[in-house]
Structure 1
Amino acid sequence: MGMGTLAAFLAVDLLLVFTPGADWAYAIAAGLRGRSVLPAVVGLVAGYAGYTVLAVAGLVVIVASSASVLTALTALGACHLIWLGWTALARPAAPHTSTNLIAASRRQVMLKGAGVSGLNPKALLLYFSLFPQFIHPGAGWPVAAQTAVFGTLHMALCAAVYLAVGVLARTLLKARPTAARAVTRASGVMMIAIGGFLLVQRLAG
């Protein structure tokens, strides 16, 4: 596995990580709650750590080869994304509002973050579709090692980007409740649109 392969993977992965979605919305909501940013990001990364373990074990390849299982997982993730978007529209986050996230313990915030990333259709796209494009069995590295490297790089990028998103949300939007609600609603609309598109595309295929 050469530096060219790593650079190409990082370029594509960065585009995915920088695309707003469920992870961004959760990081922003955490930022508006002040101290919950770090455990929220830890939870998001933990969700991808679970995918990485499955990928290294080879289970991702097995799941990806089954059209029915992949359709079911994608549909489940898309429905979860639509539900998160609807929740964001119904209860837009704002600084100092009384919501479940404020009262939640750090453990609850982390567990919810793991659920958000674990059921994110973007994770299915990444691990089931993107990873195989960069893994080369004859490249001198075992497939499991290559998978672990890509998974670790993805988790590191997620940690850095989502932490920055949460901190920026806390800094820029904390004193602007109207802007915070607008950003949350925009995230909700985007999540519903992405979830609906993925659901229709998968079921139609």
Structure 2
Amino acid sequence: MDTGLLLSFLAVDLLLVCVPGADWAYVIAAGVRGRSVPRAVAGLVAGYALHTALAVAGLAVLVARSPRLLTVLTVAGAGYLLWLGWGVLRRPTVPREAEGAGEVGAGPRGFRRGAAISGLNPKGLLLYLSVLPQFLVTTGTHLPVAAQTAALGALHMAACAAVYLTVGALSRVLLAARPRAARAVTRTSGAAMLGIGALLLGERLF
């Protein structure tokens, strides 16, 4: 693929990734609560790997053409965010309390939660349906569309990994010795998940 095209996509993609949302809320909560940032981020990236695979297979277009299926996926994602956000608000653990097995982002559970959040995130689906196709070249002697889609999807996953690892690490470093601030940030993250989930439900059901 053309280097200039890749850089243009990366610039747009980074702007989108750097906009706080459900992914940010989850990785901040994970960073505040303990040694779980890499697992949490790996889960988020795995969710986008699923989006990439669907886009390469052409299934994302099928979802876009089926309003009912898109609504089901959106409601499922919103419901999961509401459940997770309520759990974070109910138990706003701070770093010194995060040694137990119940911390956000701990072990396989943290990976699965991250994958569910990004995998069910309509924002990710819309990225692959509306933004990524604009950077695909369908004429000339360029790579097949499926290969281009895979390359752009991999670039998006790399951008997510870099940004989210940084956000999680900064959360830990800046808040590790500040229990009150950590608790406030955790509650804010939970509230953000609730707000995003409610907004998604409102857009689809009302």
Shorter-chain TM-score: what band? 0.7 to 0.9
Q: How does 1:23-172 map to 2 (within 5 A)?
A: 23-98=23-98, 100-102=101-103, 106-138=107-139, 140-172=142-174
- Give the number of equivalent residue pairs: 204
Structure 2: tracts of 5 or more residues without a match: none
Q: Distance in 1 between matches of 2:13 and 2:93?
A: 28
Equivalent AA in structure 1 for residue 168 of structure 2: G
Q: Distance in 2 between matches of 1:33 and 1:121?
A: 26
Equivalent AA in structure 2 for residue 38 of structure 1: P
* 1:176 CA drift (Å): 0.6
Q: Which moved more, 1:161-170 or 1:138-147?
A: 138-147
Q: Which moved more, 1:38-47 or 1:100-109?
A: 100-109
- Whether the aligned pair in 2 keeps the contact of 1:21 and 1:187 (CA below 8 Å) is no
CA displacement 1:43-97 (0-9 Å, x = unmatched)? 2111111111111111111111111111111121122222222222222231122
* 1:152 CA drift (Å): 0.5
Equivalent AA in structure 2 for residue 77 of structure 1: G
- Whether the aligned pair in 2 keeps the contact of 1:81 and 1:120 (CA below 8 Å) is no
Q: What SS does the aligned partner of 1:198 have?
A: helix
Quick one: percent identity of the two aligned structures?
60
Q: Which moved more, 1:186-195 or 1:53-62?
A: 186-195
Structure 1: tracts of 5 or more residues without a match: none
* 1:104 CA drift (Å): 7.6
* 1:24 CA drift (Å): 1.5
Runs of 4+ in 1 over 6 A off after TM superposition: none
